[in-house]
Amino acid sequence: MPMVTPRQADILLITGYLSVKTLKRVILVYEQMQAPKYVVGFGSCTINGGMYWDSYSTIKSLDQYLPVEMYLAGCMPRPEAIISGFTWLIDRVGKGEANSWRDYYENYEFYRKNQEELFGGPVQSYQDIPADAQRFGILEAHE
């Protein structure tokens, strides 16, 4: 079901292409979500920019900036692919295998570096990602 705020959501469904400006907002929303959280790239645009692949402001590969649990290929993906994809994701979550959200905490420097290179400077974050990683037991506390 759709949620009122990112803090109540489990899945961030990215549909269509992302511009650089839009990606900033997506990162903000993703960081506000409570873990565990999952990103689903819906359609070819999130994989390679789709029909906007040659635009200077189109994001070509979402997984360089956020951990993507699953991509649904197609423009638009067929209904069978959507059902199959979400069934696969539900199974992985149920088995405890859907852990791409942990990757954001474990490789935060990688994602942050890519974000800063794309945006041309520091990215403002309203969350303390390293502290969250320590709280989840993903990273050891640094003294």
Token pair 């790239």 is at which residue? 41
**Residue 125: predicted pLDDT:** 76
Taking the C-alpha atoms of residue 89 and residue 126, their distance in angstroms, rounded to an integer, is 28
Does residue 138 have a pLDDT over 70?
Answer: yes
**Residue 140: predicted pLDDT:** 65
What is the average pLDDT across 128-132? 81
Residue-range domain boundaries for the chain: 6-135
Closest to 81 measured CA to CA, from 48, 51, 41: 41
Closest to 107 measured CA to CA, from 137, 136, 131, 139: 139
43-89 confidence digits (pLDDT tens): 888 888 888 888 888 898 899 999 999 999 888 889 999 999 999 99
φ/ψ of 14, rounded to 5, equals -95, 110
Does residue 8 have a pLDDT over 70?
Answer: yes
**CATH architecture, domain 6-135:** 3-Layer(aba) Sandwich (3.40)
Q: Which two structure tokens, joined as six digits, stand for 28?
A: 């903000």
Label residues 35-72 b or e (16+ Cβ within 10 Å = b): eebbbbbbbbbbbbbeebeeeeebbbebbebbbbbbbb
φ/ψ of 65, rounded to 5, equals -120, -25
Give the other-Cβ count within 10 Å of 22's Cβ. Answer: 15
